[in-house]
Amino acid sequence: MKLIVAIGILFLCSCTYNKEELLYNNTCDTSNVKYSVQVTNTLNANCISCHAGATASGGIMLDDYTSVRAAAISGRLLGAISHAPGYRGMPDLAPKLPECRIAEIRTWMRNGMLNN
Ligand code: HEC
C-alpha cells in the first residue's frame, strides 16, 4: 500500500513538473510579436480554412486585419482559442493550439492589436 502511494506521488510530481516546463520554458518568445508574423501565421495555418470570405463560419472572418481586430475586441478570439467557458473552443474539430501560439495572440492584444 505504501509503495502504491509513493509511486502515485512520484507520478503526480513528474506530471506537474512536465506541465510547468511546458508552460514556463524559454522556447516561447513573445518579445517581438507582430500581426504580420505570428498572428497571421497562426490564423492562416489553423483558422482561415473555415473563417474567410462570404462563407466564414459564424460570420467570423479571420483573413483580414479589421475583422481579426474586431474578433479580438469582442473577446471571442481569445475566448475561443483558450477554450474559455461560454465560448466554442477553436480550432473546431481539432486539438487546442499550443500554449505559445495562444500566448502570442494574447500579447498582440495586450500590446494594442497593432497592424504591424
Ligand atoms: C473546421 C472549421 C473551423 C476551423 C478550422 C476553425 N473554426 Fe472557428 N468556428 C467554426 C464553426 C463551425 C463555428 C461556429 C459558428 C456558428 O456559431 O455558427 C466557429 C466559431 C468560432 C468563433 C466564435 C466562438 C464563440 O463561441 O463565440 C470564433 C471566435 C472562432 N470560431 C475562431 C476560430 C479561430 C481563431 C480558429 C483557429 C485557431 C478557428 N476558429 C478555426 C469552424 C471552424
Q: What is the pLDDT along the chain (116 residues), one digit of tens a residue?
A: 555 445 444 444 444 444 544 555 568 999 999 999 999 999 999 999 999 999 999 999 999 999 999 999 999 999 999 999 999 999 999 999 999 999 999 999 999 999 99
d(CA 48, CA 106) in angstroms, rounded, equals 19
Cell of residue 70, nine digits: 474586431
**Where exactly are the structural domains of the chain?**
31-110
Residue 24, pLDDT score: 56
Quote the pTM value.
0.84
Q: Name every protein residue with a CB atom under 6 angstroms from any ligand 1 atom.
A: 46-47, 49-51, 57-58, 60, 62, 71, 76-77, 80-81, 87-88, 90-93, 97
Q: Are 115 and 64 in contact (CB under 8 A)?
A: no
Residue 106, pLDDT score: 98
Which numbered atom of ligand 1 lies nearest the CA of 77? 29
Q: Are 96 and 22 in contact (CB under 8 A)?
A: no
Residue 2, pLDDT score: 52
Which numbered atom of ligand 1 lies nearest the CA of 88? 26
Q: Is the peptide bond before 85 cis (omega within 30 degrees of 0)?
A: no
